[in-house]
Amino acid sequence: MKLFLSTVALFALFNVISGHAGHNHGPGGKHVNIPTKQLNDGNHIPILGLGTFGFGDIPKIRQAINWAVEAGYRHIDTAALYDNEAEIGKGISDVLKKGLVKREDLFITTKLWNDKHAKNQVVPALKESLSKLGLQYVDLYLIHSPEASKEDGSPADIDYLETWQGMEEAQKLGLAKSIGVSNFDTEQIDRIKAHSKVVPAVNQIEVHPMNTQEKTIKDCFERNIAVVAYSPFGFFVSRGGPSKDDPKIKSIAQKYGKSINQVLLRYLIERGLIPIPKSTNQNRMKENLDVFDFHLTPEEVSTMSSFNTNTSIFG
Ligand X SMILES: *[C@@H]1O[C@H](CO)[C@@H](O)[C@H](O)[C@H]1NC(C)=O
Give me the active site residues, please: 82
Cβ contact 58:84 at 8 Å: yes
User: Which among 33-41, 73-81, 174-182, 302-310 is the span making contact with ligand X, rule CB under 6 A?
Assistant: 302-310
Q: Is 216 in the site for ligand NAP (CB under 6 A)?
A: no
CB count within 10 Å of CB 19 equals 10
Extended strands (E) in 168-237: 176-182, 202-206, 226-230
Q: Is 230 in the site for ligand NAP (CB under 6 A)?
A: yes
Collapse the DSSP code of 69 into the 3-class scheme (helix H, G, I; strand E, B; otherwise coil) and give the result.
helix
In the bound state with ligand NAP, the residue whose beta carbon lies nearer, of 166 and 277, is 277
Q: Give burial (CB, 10 Å; 0-12/13-18/19+) of 166.
A: buried
Closest CA to 73 of 293, 295, 262, 279: 279
Collapse the DSSP code of 116 into the 3-class scheme (helix H, G, I; strand E, B; otherwise coil) and give the result.
helix
Size of the site for ligand NAP (CB under 6 A): 27
Binding mask 82-111 for ligand NAP (x = CB under 6 A): ------------------------------
Distances 100 to 96, 107, 158 between C-alpha atoms, Å: 6, 14, 42
Residue type, 269: I
**Among 66, 77, 88, 213, which residue sits at the site for ligand NAP (rule: CB under 6 A)?**
77
Minimum CB separation of residue 99 from ligand NAP in Å reads 26
Binding mask 186-225 for ligand X (x = CB under 6 A): -----------------------------x----------
Minimum CB separation of residue 21 from ligand NAP in Å reads 8
In the bound state with ligand NAP, the residue whose beta carbon lies nearer, of 51 and 241, is 51
Q: Is 306 in the site for ligand X (CB under 6 A)?
A: no
Tell me which residues touch ligand X (CB under 6 A): 215, 308-310
